[in-house]
Amino acid sequence: MINGAIPAGLLSAVRSERPLVHHITNSVTINDCANITICTGAAPVMAEAPEEVAGMVGAAGALVLNIGTLSATQVEAMLIAGRRANELGIPVVLDPVGVGATRFRTETAHRLLDALAIAVVKGNAGEIGVLAGTGGSVRGVDSGGIMGDPVETARECARSTGTVVSMTGAVDVVTDGSRIYLVGNGNPMMDRLSGTGCMASSVTAAFAAVADDFAVASAAALAAFGLAGERAACGARGPYSFRTALFDELAGLAPDDLAREARIEER
């Protein structure tokens, strides 16, 4: 298991530095993403007008690009913001929501990967399988699964895209194409609530903003988010009480909690 002091130290850094996380994101989950960023300890901004995104990302510690509710104008804004983030050395987290479901969505994901230096691709198994070209399916924006081994699928995606890949599932897989981290924190209730994938990208960006190693940061972020999910599920009566508890548990998560309870295996 990876030393718990590492994710704990990253959570402490987020809380002390309070980086600004710029989102160009999914309109369905935008409020949840803003609030989960705050609960992590960072500061959110949700700005997608092409006229202002370059200026806004210049003040940020990380940029999230989420293709969940795409438009041509939003894609333009993503490219402008992403190029400016690259110029400034600001990590970009791409959440390829529903890639494979439509031609526009799939082409946009590949266009962003080709045009920008993406630090982390965070997606579910179906999305990562589509990007890896190894076989993956989605239904709407939900994962339909993959054909092969999750670890090898994630590793192939990392190698083909040149990014860190953070693939969520019953066991999350994070890889840079060489190193592999398996994250065992989480709870099945997280799959019963819309937006947890988008929120995971926000948490990932907050951790990436204070890190040099984006693979370790991604694993630590998923461990923190998953641990909050475990704790939230204990008293939840259903998906919506779980949602409220998820925010509360992440906000109340202490670095020492993460040091003791993060389950990150390095393979």
The pLDDT of residue 250 is: 98
Res 238: pLDDT: 92
Return the axis-axis angle of helices 214-235 and 5-17, rounded to nearest 10°.
Answer: 90
- Nearest CA to 186 out of 131, 242, 121 is that of 242
At residue 145, the pLDDT reads 54
* Predicted pLDDT at 101: 87
Q: Which CATH number describes the domain made up of 5-266?
A: 3.40.1190.20
Condensed to tens digits (0 to 9), the pLDDT of residues 16-48 reads 999 999 999 999 999 999 999 999 999 999 999
Burial state string for 189-209 with b = 16 or more CB within 10 A and e = fewer than 16: bbbebebbbbbbbbbbbbbbb
132 in Cβ contact with 160 (< 8 Å): yes
How do residues 124-181 score in pLDDT, each as one tens digit?
Answer: 999 999 999 876 545 444 444 556 789 999 999 999 999 999 999 999 999 999 999 9
Domain spans, the chain: 5-266
> Checking DSSP bridges between strand 164-168 and strand 264-266, what pairing results, if any?
unpaired
Confidence of residue 1 (pLDDT cuts 50, 70, 90): confident
From 57-66, 108-117, 148-157, 199-208, the region with the lowest mean pLDDT: 148-157
Q: Are strands 43-46 and 20-24 parallel, antiparallel or unpaired?
A: parallel
The confidence score (pLDDT) of residue 97 equals 95
String of DSSP letters for 183-212: E----GGGGGSTTHHHHHHHHHHHHHTT-S
Tell me the pLDDT tens digit for each residue of 53-99.
999 999 999 999 999 999 999 999 999 999 999 999 999 999 999 99
Cβ–Cβ < 8 Å for 117, 161: no
Mean pLDDT throughout 239-260? Answer: 97
Q: What is the pTM of this model?
A: 0.94
163 is annotated as contributing to ligand binding: no
Strand partners, 182: 173, 265
- Which pLDDT belongs to residue 265? 97
Work out the widest C-alpha separation in the chain, in whole angstroms: 47
Tokens of 126: 């179906």
**Residue 143: what pLDDT?**
45
Question: What's the burial of 179, exposed, middle or buried (CB within 10 Å: 0-12/13-18/19+)?
Answer: middle
98 is an annotated ligand-binding site residue: no
**46 marked among binding-site residues:** yes
Rounded-to-integer distance, Cα 136 and Cα 100, Å: 8
Binding site annotation covers 190?
no
Q: Quote the pLDDT of residue 133.
A: 84
CA distance 78 to 155: 26
Q: Kindly write down the DSSP assignment for every residue of 1-60, as one continuous string.
A: ---THHHHHHHHHHHHH--EEEEE--TTTHHHHHHHHHHHT-EEEE---TTTHHHHHTT-
CB 23 within 8 A of CB 64: yes
